[in-house]
Amino acid sequence: MEPVGELDDDDADVLRHREDHLAVVLGLGLLALRRTGAIEASGIRSIQEQNGYVGTVRVGVQYSPWLLFGDRAAPYAAAAVLPSMLITRPSAFDDGVSESGLPFELGAGLLVRISKPVSLDLGVRQVLGRVQESEFQGFGLRAGVRFPI
């Protein structure tokens, strides 16, 4: 009996392509905030604002247990720590602050390959933690384009 053909390791149907994959994920983020409120002094009430900025660094891992549809899509789970700094400008609320903390982020999603190096990232994220006296709690949807640098 003669083999009809040989499988190429790059063939999408080869079981080797279902291997697990663990990747390191790095990133930077910047968020601008504005706080608005009423302050009463000497019987006079006025509306005041305060601007703030949060800078974060993302350091984490992403685990993809298998590939779907050949090598076109991969579900993933991710976890990261987010060393963060919160800076506010002086206002009627306070003299301004510079605080740091270490919130963390959990996520899950699907990477869909658009072309060889470019993927569409669709997922959900949960952020929890504190930066000094400020609570960081958030849940959101994520959509973006990923490419290696």
Closest Cα to residue 31, out of 60, 59, 61, 51? 51
Residue 78 and residue 73: Cα distance in Å, rounded?
Answer: 16
- The arithmetic mean of pLDDT across residues 83-104, rounded, is 89
List residues bridging with 47 in a β-sheet: 38
- 47-57, pLDDT tens digit by residue? 888 888 989 99
The length of the chain, given as a count of residues: 149
For residue 97, what are the CA distances in angstroms to 52, 53, 84, 138? 9, 10, 13, 22
Residue 78's pLDDT band, with cuts at 50, 70 and 90, is very high
- Is 50 exceeded by the pLDDT of residue 1? no
- 97-131, pLDDT tens digit by residue? 899 999 999 999 999 989 888 989 999 999 999 98
Give me the residue label for tokens 């899950």: 108
pLDDT of residue 21: 79
DSSP secondary-structure letter at 68? B
Closest Cα to residue 108, out of 95, 89, 91, 121? 121
Give me the residue label for tokens 């609320």: 93
For residue 91, give both structure tokens: 């206002």
Residue 20's pLDDT band, with cuts at 50, 70 and 90, is low
